[in-house]
């Protein structure tokens, strides 16, 4: 539903495409939108709709995604006609297309509503129908993700409704559609959350490519501290295999690097380590081995880490115990160490110092670097793993914010009903808009602040073309507004930030 913006807030109506309009993010909001039933048919046979007779009821989400593609001015001359083919501006018949939703986890760890965890199938279905139109029966589509280590991928696919979409497509379309778990290994955990076994998975049938960004990695300024790189639950020596001074390597799905087009479908959520997870962070799921992802540096700021701000012998002891438990083949060792671990954790909670763990705070200076490395890889890496100077594939992002996640995202968020979808061709611009409508100051989020800075292999054009992100045009329900206006209006209120970010990320009037 359109907000009652004053006429002075909107720019004059646009005739044709502005030279910088490819940067502009688009947001559609309908406060009455809710998720429909699988397989998520549209509630009307739109002129361009490819599956005649397959119509559902009350699917506002499909209408919102369709309007979003119109607002992006894709194939604008034919909009509203049976020939309208919006993704034909990006996808050609015969192309390989990767659709990358957020399938991070198959259940809510605290028993909450899991709908705020993963990209909902209603958004996937709407986008997929337009991919099908663009391919015209030629080419292939892979829906793929690499969720966290303990995720049951099949259950996550069922939770999102993607299994029902795949079944519908197998019956009604000649599209070559596959659903892939890109991980090479999966962790089995006990009821207390400790790893008891690592299992090999088939992974990407096309294999993997190792991309080494070397001294061009965003992690290279930390070359003197690579020994502190950590990923929760993964063996330290495995992570350090991929990072040393002058070499920063990532194991990337060959299917992704062979794609002509990547369509990223993130969930709008807070993130305890990165601040938010939207367009930029969603790309992390293109890897095959999560152990190559540096999430934080061991220890406090005082010793060159960024795990937590002040020294904490108790936290350091818990970390050692947890790593001794994870993967330990001896059951009684796990039991004894687990009892000691729980006693130590109680002491930490009694001292009121439990919130900041594993780099889950605003001072994390590692995770944003890893995320931007992967954003550059998905844009510039050739199929053989070398980096080109020009983009190698076309990227579109469509964000599911119908039910978003706040507080302890990305794994333990609370649902926040927003009724929003967003999209764009520029990862950085879209994240600036997302952070702003969440009530956050993007300048306080290291991932966004550093993404704006022009570097070799830039991931967005905001820094080049607009310089001041506050003046970024945003299309909101068909109105062209400036980012600062959306911020001042507080259109969605302020999301509750994760504990480690609370009071350090929210926008403060007058700043």
The DSSP code sequence of 68-133 is: HHHHTTTTGGGTTSTT--GGGGT--TT-EEEEEE----SS-TTS--GGGTS--HHHHHHHHHHHHH
Q: What is the pTM of this model?
A: 0.92
* Sign of the dihedral defined by the CA atoms of residues 171, 173, 176, 177, in that order: negative
Cβ(252)–Cβ(385) under 8 Å? yes
Per-residue confidence (pLDDT) for residue 262, from 0 to 100 = 99
Tens digits of per-residue pLDDT, 45-102?
999 999 999 999 999 999 999 999 999 999 999 999 999 999 999 999 999 999 999 9
- pLDDT attached to residue 335: 74
Question: 3-class secondary structure for 229-246?
Answer: EECCCCCHHHHHCCEECC
Residues in the chain predicted with pLDDT less than 70, given as ranges, are 1-20, 327-328, 352-355, 454, 463-469
Helix (H) or strand (E) holding 416: strand 412-424
- Distance (Å, rounded) from C-alpha 240 to C-alpha 230? 8
According to the model, what pLDDT value does residue 504 have?
A: 97
Distance CA 162, CA 103 (A): 10
150: buried, middle or exposed (CB in 10 Å: 19+, 13-18, 0-12)?
middle
Domain residue extents for the chain: 20-181+254-285+362-489, 310-355
Distance of CA 34 to the CA centre of its chain: 21
The confidence score (pLDDT) of residue 3 equals 38
CA 507, CA 511: separation in Å to the nearest integer? 8
The pLDDT value given to residue 10? 39
Burial of residue 382 (number of CB atoms within 10 Å: 0-12, 13-18, 19+): middle
Q: What are phi and psi of 263, to 5 degrees?
A: -110, 110
């Amino acid at each position: 539903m359109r907000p009652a913006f004053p006429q002075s807030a909107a720019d004059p109506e646009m005739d044709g495409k502005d030279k910088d309009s490819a940067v502009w993010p688009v947001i559609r909001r309908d406060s009455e939108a809710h998720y429909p039933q699988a397989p998520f048919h549209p509630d009307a046979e739109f002129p361009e709709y490819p599956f005649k007779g397959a119509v559902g009821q009350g699917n506002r989400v499909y209408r919102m995604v369709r309007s979003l593609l119109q607002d992006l001015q894709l194939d604008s001359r034919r909009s509203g006609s049976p020939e309208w083919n919006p993704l034909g501006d990006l996808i050609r018949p015969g192309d390989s297309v990767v659709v990358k939703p957020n399938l991070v986890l198959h259940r809510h760890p605290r028993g909450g509503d899991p709908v705020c965890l993963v990209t909902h199938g209603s958004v996937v279905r709407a986008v997929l129908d337009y991919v099908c139109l663009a391919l015209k029966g030629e080419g292939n589509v892979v829906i793929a993700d690499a969720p966290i280590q303990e995720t049951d991928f099949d259950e996550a696919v069922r939770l999102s409704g993607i299994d029902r979409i795949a079944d519908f497509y197998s019956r009604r379309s000649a599209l070559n559609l596959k659903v892939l778990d890109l991980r090479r290994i999966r962790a089995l955990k006990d009821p207390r959350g400790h790893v008891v076994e690592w299992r090999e998975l088939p992974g990407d049938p096309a294999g993997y490519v190792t991309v080494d960004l070397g001294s061009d990695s965003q992690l290279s300024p930390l070359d003197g501290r690579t020994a502190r790189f950590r990923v929760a639950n993964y063996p330290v020596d495995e992570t350090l295999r991929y990072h040393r001074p002058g070499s920063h390597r990532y194991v990337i799905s060959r299917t992704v690097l062979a794609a002509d087009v990547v369509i990223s479908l993130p969930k709008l959520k807070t993130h305890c380590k990165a601040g938010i997870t939207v367009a930029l962070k969603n790309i992390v799921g293109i890897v095959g081995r999560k152990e190559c992802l540096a999430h934080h540096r061991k220890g406090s700021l005082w010793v060159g880490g960024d795990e937590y701000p002040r020294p904490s012998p108790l936290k350091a002891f818990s970390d050692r115990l947890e790593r001794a438990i994870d993967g330990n083949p001896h059951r009684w060792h796990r039991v004894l160490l687990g009892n000691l671990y729980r006693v130590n954790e109680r002491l930490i909670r009694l001292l009121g110092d439990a919130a900041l763990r594993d780099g889950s705070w605003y001072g994390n200076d590692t995770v944003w670097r890893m995320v931007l490395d992967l954003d550059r890889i998905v844009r510039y890496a050739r199929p053989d793993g070398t980096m080109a100077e020009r983009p190698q594939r076309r990227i579109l992002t469509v964000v599911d914010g119908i039910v978003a996640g706040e507080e302890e995202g990305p794994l333990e968020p609370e649902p926040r009903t927003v009724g929003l979808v967003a999209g764009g061709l520029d990862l950085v611009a879209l994240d600036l808009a997302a952070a702003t409508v969440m009530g956050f100051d993007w300048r306080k989020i290291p991932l966004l602040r550093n993404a704006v800075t022009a570097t070799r292999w830039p991931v967005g054009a905001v820094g080049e073309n607009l310089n001041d992100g506050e003046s970024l045009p945003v299309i909101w329900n068909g109105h062209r507004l400036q980012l600062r206006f959306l911020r001042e209006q507080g259109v969605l209120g302020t999301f509750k930030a994760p504990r480690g970010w609370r009071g350090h990320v929210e926008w403060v009037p007058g700043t």
